[in-house]
Structure formats: C-alpha cells, structure tokens
Amino acid sequence: MLTFVVRRLLLLIPILLGLSILVFLFVRALPGGPETALLGERSTPERAAAVRAAYGLDRPVYEQYASYMGKVAQGDFGVSIQTQRPVLEEIRNRFPATIELASSAMLFAVAVGIPLGFVAGRRPQSWVDNLSTGGSLLGIAIPVFALGFLLKYVFAVKLGWLPGTGRQDVTITTDHPTGFFVLDGVLTGDLPAAWDALKHLVLPAVALGTIPLAIITRITRAAVQEVSNEDFVRTAEAKGMTKQVVTRRHILRNAMLPVITIVGLQTGLLLSGAILTERVFSFGGMGSLMSEAIFRRDFPVLQGGILFLAVVFVLVNMLVDISYGFLDPRVRGA
C-alpha cells in the first residue's frame, strides 16, 4: 500500500513541472503584457521598457522561468498588478469561497444523487427511474449559466425567496476569521450572519451541483444494476439473508466504488473554479478571480491562480486514486 502511494506521488512531479512550464509560456504569450495592463493609454516605448525591466521581462525566458520557480518554491507567487497585493494573499482570500461553494454543491449532488440512483437502479423502468433518467439528461444538456439564470429569475427575482447575488448581505458586518462565511458566523456567535451566508449559498450550489448530480445519479444507477446481477448477490439471497442485509452489505458497498471515484473527480472539477456559476451569482471565489485576471491581463495572478488550481485538481485526483486503493484491494497492484 505504501509503495502504491509513493508511486502515485512520484508520478506527480513530472506533471507539475510540465504544467508550470506550460502555464509560464502561456502567460508570456498572452497578447498585451503587463505594460499594457499597467500603462494602458499612457504607454510609450520608454515607459513600457521600464515596466518590462521591473518585471524582469527583458531577460531570456528560461532565466525568468528559473527565477519564478525559485520564488514559487519559497511560497512567493509574485504581486498582483491590479491590486498590488501578493498573489498568495489574493488566493487565500478567494479560495475559502470556492471551497464553500464546491462542497455545498457536492453535498447537494451526493445527498440527492445517490438515493435517487439507488432507487432507479433497484427498480428499473419505474417512475423514479424514468424521472431521474430524464432529469439527469436535462441536467447535462443545460449550460450551467443558463440554469443559473433560471434559478435566479424564479427564486430571487420572481418569488424573492433567496438572494441571487454575493456571499452575504452587504449590511452584515461580521468578522471573517476563516473566510468561510457560514463558519465565521457560527464562530463569532453571529448566527443570523451564518444563516444569511447559508441562504446565499443555496442557488449557486444547486446550479453548480446539477451536473455532478446528473452524473452521480447515472453512475449509481448503473453500478447498482450491475452489482444486483452479480452471482454473489444471488448467492446471498439464496442463503436466505434478508433483503436489507443484502442491499446494504452486498449491493451498496460494491456499487459505491465507481461512485466514490466520480464524486472525487467531480469535486476536483468544482474546486478548480466554478467560473460560470460564480459570475452569474457574483460569488467572489477563485473563478471570478481568474476571469478578472484574464480581462485585466493581471499575469502574476493568472499564472499563480492556474498553477494553484491545477495543483489542487491533480492532488484531489490523486487522493481519489489512493482512496480507491484502500477501498478496492484489486487496484493496488496496477
């Protein structure tokens, strides 16, 4: 088991190195470098040259890369051109929002998807099955921002049940020791603030969670159906075990293997920036940080942000791999 984990970790090194080179070259290839972002209309050749020198852009690319990586190794991702704050600080400010949103979306998807998929898989062609199949098809076919529009229009504009923008009401001034607004409200004892933050999470989480919901439902259904037809299930039933025990111990446990993989992979995807959802609901997480950085040509933020998100994505995927090794002994040898 240990060799399995170590091997997975070693495999990460070339991927992360290659990725850093790719991101580095990409940012340098973007039209309009930092001089355009900083100077804009006031740009003259002399001023542009001064900016390029200040950011070290006049040196050979490989030298720039080496010095960048040297700093990254020390946790220094540079300074945002737009805000003049360290990139790491920007990420630290925004990432909690993304974690909050992604985990609520995943919670929604798992809490609805697994029971739904399970019932659908146990009773194929029943109304639950047909409804969930149709629903998940729709969930995959609708663009996430269109779903966001729809939810916002119905629940925020028409019915006025839930807030449709931001993470918390602007009139609430609670401290944010952790950056997780719901948790912050609980920690500081300001429960109305926590409740308000929670209400702000509902619509974006449902919009973002729909695709994983559709996928989880489908995978659960297929897995439950496949496992139900296995010999060991028939054997267990023939032995006279109660339906409950067979369902819980034989079917559910085995069917959960592919589901866990999917949940893990989807979590990685959600964490890596719900760019579209965050934009619809003006939810200030990593996604909006990245899209702002693109439009403002804020290349240190862009570079650090993509690298950070990709590392998170790769790490989560690796954790999924490893947990799979724990759950299914057959995988370890592979």
Partner 1 sequence: MSLTQAGAVASATTVQAEDAPGGLTRDALRRMRRSPTAIIGLVLIVVFVLVAVFAPLLAPYDPTVQRLDLIRPGEYPGPSREFLLGLDQLGRDELSRIIYGARYSLLIGVVSLTLGASVGLLLGLVAGAFGGWVDSLVMRVVDIMLAVPGLLLAIGVAALLGPRLLSVMIAIAVVNVPIFARLLRGSMLAQRRSDYALAARSLGVTRRRVVLNHVFPNSLAPVIVQGTLALATAIIEAAGLAYLGLGSSDPAIPEWGRMLADTQSSLATSPLLALWPGLAIVFSVLGFYLLGEALREALDPKLRR
144 touches partner 1 by CB under 8 A: yes
Least Å from the CB of residue 199 to partner 1? 20
Torsions phi, psi for 253 (to 5 deg): -60, -45
* Cβ closest to partner 1, residue 185 vs residue 273: 273
227 touches partner 1 by CB under 8 A: no
DSSP 8-state symbol, 143: -
Q: Tell the burial category of 191 from Cβ atoms under 10 Å away from its Cβ (0-12, 13-18, 19+).
A: exposed
Q: Of these, 5, 8, 78, 149, which contacts partner 1 (CB under 8 A)?
A: 149
* Cβ closest to partner 1, residue 19 vs residue 99: 19
Each as own residue / partner, the long-range contacts of residues 54-62 (CB below 8 Å, 24 or more positions apart, any chain) are 57/28, 57/33, 61/24, 61/25, 61/28
Least Å from the CB of residue 177 to partner 1? 30
Instruction: Please state, in angstroms and rounded to a whole number, the distance separating the CA atoms of residues 162 and 183.
Output: 19
131 touches partner 1 by CB under 8 A: no
10 touches partner 1 by CB under 8 A: no
* Cβ closest to partner 1, residue 174 vs residue 217: 217
Rounded to 10 degrees, the C-alpha dihedral 170/92/5/320 comes to 20
Structure tokens given for 292: 């702002």
Identify whether the C-beta of residue 167 lies closer than 8 Å to the C-beta of residue 181.
yes
* Cβ closest to partner 1, residue 194 vs residue 219: 219
Structure tokens given for 87: 């990139």
* Cβ closest to partner 1, residue 156 vs residue 198: 156
* Cβ closest to partner 1, residue 4 vs residue 190: 4
49 touches partner 1 by CB under 8 A: no
Instruction: Please state, in angstroms and rounded to a whole number, the distance separating the CA atoms of residues 263 and 316.
Output: 11
Return the range that interacts with partner 1 (CB under 8 A); candidates 108-116, 145-153, 180-188, 237-245. 145-153
H helices of the chain, where?
A: 2-29, 34-39, 45-54, 61-73, 87-122, 127-141, 144-151, 181-187, 191-228, 231-238, 243-245, 253-271, 275-280, 286-295, 299-327
140 touches partner 1 by CB under 8 A: yes
* Cβ closest to partner 1, residue 16 vs residue 57: 16
* Cβ closest to partner 1, residue 1 vs residue 9: 9
Rounded to 10 degrees, the C-alpha dihedral 154/157/162/168 comes to 140
Least Å from the CB of residue 291 to partner 1? 6
Report the site for partner 1 in 249-308 (rule: CB under 8 A): 268-269, 272-273, 275-276, 279-280, 290-291, 294-295, 306
Site for partner 1, rule CB under 8 A: 14-16, 18-19, 22, 26, 29-31, 137-138, 140-146, 149-150, 152-153, 157, 268-269, 272-273, 275-276, 279-280, 290-291, 294-295, 306, 309-310, 313-314
